[in-house]
Structure 1
Amino acid sequence: MDKNQTIGLLLISLLLLVYFYFFAPKPEPPVQQLADTTSVTQPTPLPTDQEQPKVEQADLAANDSIEALIAQQQLGLFYKGAEGEEQDITIENEEIKIVLNSKGGVVKEVELKKHLTYDKQPLILIDEESSQMELAVSSQGKIIDLNQLYYRVDTSQPAQGDTTEVHFTMEVSPGKVVEKIYKLPGSGYQLLHEIKFKGLDNVIGNQDVLLTWHDKIKRLEEHFDGYHGARKKATINYFTSSGAFEDLSPASDETEQEVVNQSVDWVTIKQKFFSAAIIAENGFTGGEFRTTFNPNDSSVVKDTKSVLRISADLLKSDKGNFKFYFGPNNYQIVKKVTRGFSNNVDMGWSLFSWINKFVIIPIFNFLENYISNYGIIIIILVLLIKLVLSPLSYKSYISMAKTKVLKPELDELKEKYGNDMQKIQAEQMKLYQKVGVNPLSGCIPVLLQMPILLAMFNFFPNSVELRQESFLWANDLSTYDAILSWKATIPLISSFYGNHISLFTLLMTLSTILYTWSNNQMSAVQGPMKSIGYVMPVVFMFVLNSYPAGLTFYYFVSNLVTFAQQSIIRRFVNEEKIRKILEQNRKKNVNKKKSKFQLKIEEAMKASEEAKRKK
């Protein structure tokens, strides 16, 4: 309300008070009669209980008229919506409990019944303090927020398992109605929503209706700092009608803001493991999005604001169909919501996401149906993947075994040519050609396994299934398993390592070093390349210290299984037989022509040697 409106209302109120005080009709004085001395004087009767409210109703009518004038000036034709009774309506199914409110006909609170907060409290995804929605329309030069008006409520109670419907109705005038309808199915995390403007063609202008959603993301997870903390995962995602998935950078420490001037299908306020979203069946005409946060406020993860434009014609023609999603970021659930909605679960780059979506997640969900312990599920997942990849592991080991057999000859070349690495490499290539050994055959199987290992980098940190699931000493497999923590900031260490020690990460590092040592016994690699194998596990110890315990446990078990695989293969591999095969190949390849690849390598080496001599 601006200054002129305030002064006008005060003057109107003052005029009404002056009128009722000075100009209202005064009661006539009672007629005086002569007393009859022969009769008993009767006392003047007190007002009865039925007469007393008449004065109160008159005063109330005066107050009501003032409030009605104020409401009419502010709301125009919608002034009737200024009065009403606020009422909460609770609807729920197996997964979700929603509180609707008759003031505004809005979603007041959402509870996810199958999940808890980090401190084991009911998980309230949004409430009236953290989340507010405005629905602004233009009418007779006024901007009216329909979510601040009162609605009449009509609820239909369904049979068990059926859809619950709640109708909110506000009558502007006879035949002119604003209607909001909510439908909650018997199961699932979706709430259907319709907005209808009936007979309001001449009441509401043709300007877009503005839906403003201001949400302060509640803190649901214990760890919200760091790369995999809740704050770095919270953002606004949206999907355009042209098929493009976009987001505001979740890792940014600055205010992020975007303006979209094209049709938008849905908008999600995404947290690490949960989301609140609104989907428009016929699209929003555009929107503005903003995220920011206060680093000193640990109760709010991020402050988000979404301003969405809705065509008024859609709401006037019964095409204002929407739905909300309030639920977990579970890939198997969100992929069924609407087009592109599965992008709210980060599965990594295209190659890795394909592995997660069509291999890892189906196996993981299948095991969930029969096993309740997620640590056991991870172990079985490792065994199944290693079993499928065992042929590649076998080929890799055979390649290393051949190299081991050739090690004495390779050592002779190093002694013969000393520090001339180019000559040594050239002679090694000739030796490999003679005995029929491909030096890359041991690397290719390892490279083919890398996409699966890298896919896990996205699967475990974003797997809501692991949230609050314990195994051994890890209380929550979706975050790090700290066996020792400290609050003090230690230069460099706190920046690169964190303020805790993860036991599964330590075990993973030690097992990787053991696996590297085992491989070096079979490999002919010498010098710096051999040392790198021991440096990398230490590097990853720093990198993965704050990653989920489920991921580091997976790598730890994978290392143990790989080590066991090699031990078993070693028992069935006879080095004498390999040596005989190599000698047979040496005899066969005496007069064999060199391949084009080998010729190119030799030419490159000769050119390099010639350049070195000239220099």
Structure 2
Amino acid sequence: MDKNSAIGLTLIALLLLVYFYWFAPTTQPVPPTKQSVPSLAETKSDTLRGEPAPAADSLLVAQLGVLGSSLEGTETTTRVETEDLDITFSNRGGIIKDLELKKFKTYHKAPLKLITPTSNEFSLRTSVNGRDLDLYTLYYQVDQQKSGDTTIVNFSIPLANGKKFVQTYKIPAQGHEIKYTIKGGSEIISGENLSFNWVSILKPLEKDLVDTRENSTINYYSDEDGFSKLDPRASGTETETVTDPLKWVTIKEKFFLRAFITSSQFGGGQLETNVNESDPSVVKRANVKLNVPKSALSDGTYFKFFFGPNDYQKIGKVSDGFAKNVYLGWPPIYWINKFIIFPVFNLLTQFISNYGLIIIILVFLLKLVLFPLSYRSYLSMAKMRVLKPELDEIKERVGEDMTKVQQEQMKLYSQVGVNPISGCVPVLLQMPLIFAMFYLFPASIELRQQPLFWAEDLSTYDSLIHFSFDIPFLGNHLSLFTLLMTISTLIYTWQNNQLSAVQGPMKSVSYVMPVIFLFVLNRFSAGLTFYYLISNLFTFAQQAIIKRFVDEDKIKAIMEENRKKIAAGGGTAKKSKFMSKLEDAMKAGEEARKRADEERKKKKK
């Protein structure tokens, strides 16, 4: 590792440290407990579904006219089971009362339910004859039928003149989308909008509660502004009032989505998340309030619910911009993940079921693509090793004047035809791929609950080594994959330092950085740290191969030939624009230093 490569790696490390300082979790995960989830009544909701309905007031019944008779009734349920969903509807409100994802389990292997009576509440508020009414508190007549492989469930209330107010759900045999329509009743509803409210208490589904909280939020999309979200890392309450028309809103919890989508537009709304970090039984509380135009009751507008995995391979077709629910990083990281890394990763998952093998193949392919850059970096290191005796001689001859040392070194580089930046640039060009991996593995639901060796779930940290106490910056566990990655990085660093021209503090820094990343990556996905471990092992093999093709004696001979040609020509090698600017900057710095020294001398006199 030459000086410039070391500088490049240090810059990368500093950038990563800055990133983790601002965005990485700072608290340790709290294991889920068996405490009961607080009722929605405690979160400013109205009434809990499943409780007996209070007797209707006779005056209210009279004021609501034809809808008044539907205020009382007996609750019944209707169950619809598909390949992916197990749904229970209630005739009280015509709402989804319970919904389970059949192909997924929680981290503790319990049924994974995105809707339960105690964790979700829906309301659809409007005004009828001057009285506020929640249409989801009425009792409906239920009709279930089949159309091909689609199950249709109608919830209806008779109105005057043979008309009906009808809610219809269409559930296909496969998939996670449920089509939903509301028709009729526009003549008795006053106002321009209905208010759709959805309160959801997100329960822990994953191993790491802190990580789940920091990846749970409300996302929303408008045709004008595109994708937006509430800050997932905000503490306390995060609120947003949206005035622009919206296309969809998603309650996102790490790997799973609950979404409400329209074929037209919602007339804005209010979105809110709240987190109580002292309560391990709840990830977050989400509150969605959307303005539904009354015209939706008669103009053919339809809605969709989406309850399913946040799977980049599947959600792109749900609605415009819906794939943005999977965060792939900022540009250019986003483009690299979207057009290169994710397609390759997804292609491999179609043919290989072992995700450890998939990660190994992914490392191999990326190393193959980056081989030319790695070769150039190693070649630059070899050139710097050949020049090391002359660089050391310059330091001894010039002394402590660092500006003069740098000028003499630049002169030497020009004489032998070496670009000192050539070793740094290949390393920096690989940086976007390094960052891309930090988003690939945490965002890949494919890794969820996939075991590998001692790791039971590649989507979260492996915790084979537990402590009975918390270690500062490390927590109460040590990831074995992270430990092995750190050891392999230290070995790689030691090997490079034996071959490189790097000396002094820079050499010590190269050993400190892997240790720092042991603490940084200890709570990251086991898939990510396994990837870096395998990447280090491939690097060892790659360097051994490159070394066989790099002849330092031949490099030295070429440098001497360049030196003779340049000397015979009475000048120096043609400089690149960068080298010229670098030398100009060094001269300007030297002149500024001399002026400053002269000013200090004048002041002393």
Normalised by the shorter chain, which TM-score bucket? 0.7 to 0.9
Is 1:525 paired with 2:502? yes
User: CA contact under 8 A between 1:126 and 1:218: conserved in structure 2?
Assistant: no
- Cα distance per residue 1:12-49 (max 9 Å; x no partner): xxxxxxxxxxxxxxxxxxxxxxxxxxxxxxxxxxxxxx
Distance 1:587 1:97 in 2: 81
Distance 1:384 1:421 in 2: 43
Instruction: Name the CA shift for 1:603/1:364 in 2 (closer, same or farther; >3 Å).
Output: closer
User: CA contact under 8 A between 1:81 and 1:172: conserved in structure 2?
Assistant: no
Is 1:503 paired with 2:501? no
Counterpart of 2:209 in 1: which secondary structure? Answer: coil
Letter in 1 for 2:141: R
User: CA contact under 8 A between 1:80 and 1:172: conserved in structure 2?
Assistant: no
The sequence identity of aligned pairs, in percent, is 51
Please give the residue correspondences for 1:264-279 in structure 2 after superposition, counting only pairs within 5 Å. Answer: 264-279=246-261
Counterpart of 2:442 in 1: which secondary structure? Answer: coil
Aligned pair count? 538
2:490 alignment counterpart? 513
Distance 2:536 2:470 in 1: 33
Please give the residue correspondences for 1:324-473 in structure 2 after superposition, counting only pairs within 5 Å. Answer: 324-473=305-454
User: What is the deviation of 1:606?
Assistant: 3.4
Please give the residue correspondences for 1:284-295 in structure 2 after superposition, counting only pairs within 5 Å. Answer: 284-295=266-277
Counterpart of 2:363 in 1: which secondary structure? Answer: helix
2:66 alignment counterpart? 77
User: CA contact under 8 A between 1:467 and 1:476: conserved in structure 2?
Assistant: yes
2:82 alignment counterpart? 93
Structure 1: gaps spanning 5 or more residues = 1-65
Counterpart of 1:530 in 2: which secondary structure? Answer: helix
Is 1:224 paired with 2:206? no
Distance 1:124 1:600 in 2: 62
2:125 alignment counterpart? 136
Distance 1:598 1:79 in 2: 84
User: CA contact under 8 A between 2:186 and 2:294: conserved in structure 1?
Assistant: no
User: CA contact under 8 A between 2:182 and 2:296: conserved in structure 1?
Assistant: no
1:311 alignment counterpart? 293
User: What is the deviation of 1:314?
Assistant: 2.1
Distance 1:354 1:151 in 2: 49
User: CA contact under 8 A between 2:56 and 2:72: conserved in structure 1?
Assistant: no
Letter in 2 for 1:297: D
Please give the residue correspondences for 1:596-615 in structure 2 after superposition, counting only pairs within 5 Å. Answer: 596-613=577-594, 615=597
User: What is the deviation of 1:597?
Assistant: 4.2
2:265 alignment counterpart? 283
Is 1:107 paired with 2:96? yes
User: What is the deviation of 1:192?
Assistant: 0.8
Alignment equivalent of 2:139, drawn from 144, 150, 160: 150
Distance 1:68 1:253 in 2: 42
Alignment equivalent of 2:533, drawn from 550, 556, 565: 556
1:578 alignment counterpart? 555
Distance 1:598 1:440 in 2: 9
User: CA contact under 8 A between 2:64 and 2:129: conserved in structure 1?
Assistant: no
Is 1:213 paired with 2:177? no
Distance 2:560 2:498 in 1: 22
User: CA contact under 8 A between 1:138 and 1:207: conserved in structure 2?
Assistant: no
User: CA contact under 8 A between 2:236 and 2:276: conserved in structure 1?
Assistant: no
Letter in 2 for 1:173: A
- Cα distance per residue 1:451-488 (max 9 Å; x no partner): 11101111111211111111011111111111222353
User: What is the deviation of 1:186?
Assistant: 2.3
Alignment equivalent of 2:218, drawn from 232, 236, 239: 236
User: CA contact under 8 A between 1:478 and 1:548: conserved in structure 2?
Assistant: yes
Distance 2:497 2:402 in 1: 20
Please give the residue correspondences for 1:182-221 in structure 2 after superposition, counting only pairs within 5 Å. Answer: 182-197=169-184, 200-221=185-206
Counterpart of 1:157 in 2: which secondary structure? Answer: strand
Letter in 2 for 1:332: Q
Counterpart of 1:486 in 2: which secondary structure? Answer: strand
User: What is the deviation of 1:301?
Assistant: 0.8
Distance 1:82 1:607 in 2: 84
User: CA contact under 8 A between 1:403 and 1:522: conserved in structure 2?
Assistant: no
Is 1:177 paired with 2:159? no
Counterpart of 2:313 in 1: which secondary structure? Answer: helix
Is 1:536 paired with 2:513? yes
Instruction: Name the CA shift for 1:399/1:332 in 2 (closer, same or farther; >3 Å).
Output: same
Instruction: Name the CA shift for 1:74/1:382 in 2 (closer, same or farther; >3 Å).
Output: farther
Per the normalisation by structure 2, the TM-score is 0.85
User: What is the deviation of 1:74?
Assistant: 6.3
Structure 2: gaps spanning 5 or more residues = 1-54, 598-605
User: What is the deviation of 1:289?
Assistant: 1.0
Letter in 1 for 2:68: Y
User: CA contact under 8 A between 1:92 and 1:184: conserved in structure 2?
Assistant: no
- Cα distance per residue 1:404-459 (max 9 Å; x no partner): 11112112112222222222211111111111111111111111111111011111
User: CA contact under 8 A between 1:469 and 1:477: conserved in structure 2?
Assistant: yes
User: CA contact under 8 A between 2:172 and 2:178: conserved in structure 1?
Assistant: yes
Letter in 1 for 2:537: L
- Cα distance per residue 1:223-270 (max 9 Å; x no partner): 112xxx111111111112313222111111121111111201111100
2:234 alignment counterpart? 252
User: What is the deviation of 1:67?
Assistant: 6.3
User: CA contact under 8 A between 1:507 and 1:556: conserved in structure 2?
Assistant: yes
